[in-house]
Structure 1
Amino acid sequence: MKPHKLILSMLVCIPAFLPGGLYAQTTVREQPTLSNASLQECIDYALSNKPGVQQSLIDEEIGEREIKSALSGWLPQINGTGTANHNFKQQSQILTTNGQSSLLTFGGKNTSSFVLQADQQFLNAGLIQASKSAKYYRQQYKQSTENTKINTIVDVSKAFYDILTSKEQLNIISENIARLEKQLKDASAQYDAGLVDKTDFQRAQISLSNSKADRKRTEELLKYKYAYLRELIGYSADKEFGLSFTNSNMEKDVMIDTAQLLNYQNRIEYRLLETQKQLQKITTSYNKWSYAPTLSGFINYGWNYQNNELRSLYDNVYPSSVVGLKITVPVFLGGKRTQEIKKSQLQERKIDLDLINTKNKINTQYEQAIATYKANLNDLHTNKSNVDISRQVYNTIKLQYDEGIKTYLDLMTSETDLRTAQINYLNSLYNLLSSKLDVKQALGTITVNQ
């Protein structure tokens, strides 16, 4: 076969071996618009669009490619090589026959060869290790993605509840402003009628101004909280974004079973360490068996050309072919194998200590979360009772103030107590919901399917 024809044939075959992904067009999925999103819709959106989650999924794909790349060593490895040489001085050899010596010259002045060789591994410690560890690497990548998704669910839920709390706080402030505006109007009328001095009127103005400042501050912070939730779920800043609170009754979702037993296996962090330990055991096993021989086979076919005239180099071909086995037995590596075994065993011990330390951390995290939850639950009941009492006190003093029995200062004090009790109740409700999420995360009961 002429060399130019051989090269042309190889070039024609190259596209058949190229991965189809090189020709595939990347499709960009259009993001849905969240104009009236519930908590579950925000979580679903985050699990599909948050950059951190997408990066974890890409890491899974990268890991899969790395696994397949490592395992590809079991398949035949086919390579083609070509050479072209011009011998300025050809190799010579003295030949002695019957006491007479003569000088023989070997080969032509111009030589060329093309060799196609296939190699096949039959026994290779590194490939055996790759085969055994593939399962655990896939498991590790999926567990890392699960960990990212669990943290995303917790963060999005807390951010959603924070916005809901701020919206409720705005409602309380608006109710307070409405009361203060009426009180200011009444104080102004009484002052104009000469029934009271201007002190009540001025106090009403101060209280109203402070409440309006609180409303402005809460509204501005609410903009940041919306932006933060956008960031958590991976939502574009230039798209319409709104939340639905119609079915969000925070009070009905605060209870949790505090008698659940802590199971370390439910925690994704603990399972990740167990997977890492399995991988390290495989590494130790590989180092122990690295002295095993490597056995491979090969077959090749070559096209050889030689001629003293360059223009006639490829006129005649002298083919050759060989098939054989190759075995490599490591005899002495300078103690490297022993040191690698000891190093891997020490790394196993480190992981065992990490498992113990992680157990202790999980237990501490759970105790802290459950204690915080119980304290917040008690605060919620207390603050809810305080709201009822403060409202009764305010209504009573308001009637007494209208009858001229109580002073305006008493009225302002009761109104402040009512507003404080309402805000405290909202804060304790948010803290309770957050601590409930912390308890579930500590127990490992939050899953990406919930």
Structure 2
Amino acid sequence: MKLHKSILTFLLILPVTWCSVAFGQTEQNTKELKNVTLPDLIAYALLNKPGVKQSLIDEEIGERDIKSALSGWFPQINGTATYNNNLKQQVQQLTMNGETSLLTFGSKNTSAFTLQADQKFLDAGLIQASKAAKYYRQQYLQNTENTKINTVVSVSKAYFDVLTSIEQIKIINENNARLEKQLKDSKAQYDFGLVDKTDYQRAQISLSNSRADKKRAEELIKYKYAYLKELVGYNSEKEFSLNFDAVKMENQILIDTNQRETYENRVEYRLLQTQKQLQHLNTSYNKWAFLPNISGFINYNWNYLNNNFSNLYDKNYPSSLFGLSLKLPIFQGTKRIQELRKSQLQEQRIDLDLVNTKNQIKTQYEQAMATYKANLNDWKTAGANVEISRQVYQTIKLQYDEGIKAYLDLMTSETDLRTAQLNYLNSLYSLLSSRLDVEQALGTITVNQ
């Protein structure tokens, strides 16, 4: 049927199958979105949506944090400079051969320049940072993946919503054309005295109401366009228009309802697993805290001293030192034990989060699949009702033109046809949205650059 051909084409495109195409395209941040398809929108959104960009920046920030933490393994070189003016120099009494004299220590002016390198050989914090680096990188990537999946779903739903509204306006325009013809016919019949004035007035009322519906739909679609622009990160002042692929087949709407949820496919579940790994490392760190810290150092000092400031830097008395340091924490008031027990409890809590997330994923899948099946049945029923309503309207229209049926019957059949067409559109949008929800629940919407 005509309605099927004109509407289904834009619904049949599965966003998941488009992701690989979308990511293969070049950067489009300066491209104007004119007559674009859903793959174009997804590709543009994954490059330009602020939320996606923020996730990518978070990855870079995370990488800097990792490198900052690991930098402690490198030698830490510091330089210091000091100057001291001894306002009151230390005096020591010295007795020799029965005679007592006063001995002044040091110089009035002293200055020193020190260059020191420290190197850690064993440190619990650095061991933890080294082992946790890959899990933190994994966590940042998973956060970005989650953002991109949500972007694919939200952009797809908004795209379907806009195109559904476009088709809705087309239906209203077709309805207005019929009502204008009916108004013209009823006016002619009234002028010839074939019918009373009520048929003409009813036609006027129906046409006015339909025009009001069109105005409402046209105003709402402006908001839907603006919302879609916001989702993809597109300049609201630029031109924007949509297109859809008419080649896709109707059977692409259908999915395998026998698929079952796989928890590891869901990025939310994998994020929790990563958090568990990080928490396990934190527990290990609290065990490593019982180990000693071993470090080494070497320095070189330029020392200057003189009673006259003007001659202070005339002569240098250098010194240098090399050494090793071992620090063994013996007793800290049970703090390390308490931190260890706390981290173990947090691991147990994440285990319960994983169990709870599994239950939530299962419930989400059951709800999404049940909604999809119900919407699929509604869509099929609505499609059949459109054909029946069209046939009924055409039959009653012929009967009305021949004077067999009353105008009220014609208006009722016309309203039924319009209602059936709009119900079909709404069920179609609901079906596509629920399909996306099923795919998201299954974890089959993947984003691979």
TM norm. shorter chain > 0.5: yes
What is the distance in 1 between the residues matched to 2:233 and 2:38?
15
CA distance in 2, matches of 1:192, 1:204: 15
Runs of 5+ unmatched residues, structure 1: 1-27
The 3 A distance-change label for structure 1 pair 215 and 392 is same
User: Is 1:151 aligned to 2:139, yes or no?
Assistant: no
Match of 1:371 in 2: 370
Please name the residue that 1:218 is paired with. Answer: 217
Once the two structures are TM-superposed, the CA of residue 389 in structure 1 deviates from its matched residue by 0.5
Q: Secondary structure at the match of 1:82?
A: strand
Find the aligned partners of 1:188 and 1:326 in 2 and give their Cα distance.
Answer: 105
Give, in whole Å, the separation in 2 of the partners of 1:448 and 1:421. 38
29-38 or 218-227: which moved more? Answer: 29-38
| Residue in structure 1 matched with residue 8 of structure 2 by the alignment | none
Q: Which residue of structure 2 lines up, in the alignment, with residue 273 of structure 1?
A: 272
Which residue in 1 is equivalent to 2:290?
291
Aligned to 1:133: 132
1:329 maps to which residue? 328
Name the structure 2 match of 1:66: 65
Q: 1:56 to 1:412 in 2, by over 3 A?
A: same
> Which amino acid in 2 is paired with 1:147?
N
Greater RCO, 1 or 2 (C-alpha within 8 Å, sep 6+): 2
> Could you tell me how far apart the structure 2 residues matched to 1:166 and 1:331 are?
72
Q: Distance in 2 between matches of 1:159 and 1:253?
A: 19
The CA deviation at 1:212 is 0.6
Identify which range, 245-254 or 116-125, moves more after superposition: 245-254
Q: Is the 8 A contact 2:29 2:44 kept in 1?
A: no
Q: Deviations over 1:133-186 (max 9, x none)?
A: 001000001100100110010000000000010011111111111111111111
Moved more, 35-44 or 361-370: 35-44
Task: State the distance in 2 between where 1:367 and 1:250 align.
Answer: 27
The residue identity in structure 2 corresponding to 1:332 is F
Question: Do residues 31 (structure 1) and 39 (structure 2) align?
Answer: no
Contact 1:77 / 1:118 at 8 angstroms: preserved in 2? yes
- Kept in 1, the 8 Å contact 2:295–2:326? The answer is yes
1:93 shift after superposition: 3.8
User: Number of residue pairs matched?
Assistant: 423
Q: Which digits, 9 at most, give the CA deviation of each residue in 1:3-45, with x for residues without a partner?
A: xxxxxxxxxxxxxxxxxxxxxxxxx995211122111111111
RMSD (Å), alpha carbons: 1.6
29 and 295 in structure 1: CA distance in 2 versus 1, 3 angstrom threshold:
farther
Structure 2 residue 114 is the aligned partner of structure 1 residue 115: yes
Contact 2:279 2:347 in 1 (8 A): yes
Distance 1:425 1:30, change over 3 A: closer
Pair 1:329–1:101, CA change in 2 (3 A): farther
What is the identity, as a one-letter code, of the residue corresponding to 1:368?
Q
Judge conservation of contact 2:29–2:48 (CA < 8 Å) in 1. Answer: no
Query: Cα distance, 1:249 vs. partner?
Result: 5.8
Are 1:190 and 2:189 matched, yes or no? yes
Within 5 Å, give how 1:298-313 maps onto structure 2. Answer: 298-313=297-312
Q: Name the CA distance, whole Å, in 2 between partners of 1:95 and 1:325.
A: 38
Separation in structure 1 between the aligned mates of residue 103 and residue 301 of structure 2, nearest angstrom? 25
Q: Normalization by structure 2: what TM-score? A: 0.92
Which amino acid letter does the alignment assign opposite residue 443 of structure 2? Answer: G
CA deviations 1:402-427 (Å, max 9, x no partner) are: 11111111010000000000000010
Distance 1:351 1:398 in 2: 67
Asked whether the equivalents of residues 283 and 344 of structure 2 are also in contact (C-alpha less than 8 Å), the reply is yes
**Cα pair distance change 1:249/1:184, threshold 3 Å:** farther
For 1:208-228, what per-residue CA distance to the aligned partner results, in whole angstroms no more than 9, with x for missing partners? 111111111000000000000
User: Secondary structure of 2:314's partner?
Assistant: coil
Task: Give, in angstroms, the shift of residue 107 of structure 1.
Answer: 1.7
Offset of 1:253 from its aligned partner?
3.5
1:292-339 deviations in whole A, cap 9, x for unaligned? 100001010110000011100000011111111111000110110011
Which amino acid in 2 is paired with 1:316? K
Deviation string 1:272-306 (CA, Å, 9 cap, x unpaired) is 00000000000001001201100001010110000
The superposition leaves residues 85-122 of structure 1 with CA deviations (integer Å, 9 ceiling, x where unpaired) of 11112233455667776543322110000000000010
**Shift in Å, 1:245:** 2.7
- For 1:205 and 1:317, locate their aligned partners in 2 and report how far apart those are by CA, in whole Å: 107
| Contact 1:250/1:429 (<8 A) preserved | no
Residue 250 of structure 1 deviates from its aligned partner by 8.6
Using a 3 Å threshold, how does the CA distance of structure 1 residues 221 and 333 change in structure 2: closer, same or farther?
same
- Among the aligned pairs, what percent are the same residue? 72
Consecutive unaligned residues of structure 2, counting only runs of 5 or more, are 1-26
What is the distance in 1 between the residues matched to 2:399 and 2:448?
Answer: 57
The residue aligned with 1:22 is none
Encode CA deviations 1:364-386: one digit per residue, 9 max, x unaligned: 00000000000000001101000
